[in-house]
Amino acid sequence: MEDLSQEEWKEQLANDDNAVILDVRTDAEVADGIIPNAIQIDIYKGQDFINEIEDLDKSKNYYVYCRSGNRSGQACKIMEQLGFENAYNLEGGMLQWTGDVVDLD
């Protein structure tokens, strides 16, 4: 797991052909907007979160974010324990995000 600053995250993501963006926030938080092309798996789902994470392709590079960076850091640690080699945590999360955001409705 690696913590990346907002700039590092955006730059690395832009140059990564094997990237998957993962949003670990709740449905209510996601309703306020989501980073384009992100998939959402709510970390508060407990075992269901782990089950859904285990179904992901471990050969991909995961760019993980939440509201502030705490839950996404936890998610990256869980992913490492499950055998994911490349999980990147967005420091500051959506609170500091200045990139594009799309509404889901």
Cα separation values, 78 from 16, 38, 65, 90, Å: 22, 19, 14, 15
Residue in this structure with the two tokens 């992100």, named with its chain if needed:
38
Active site residues: 66
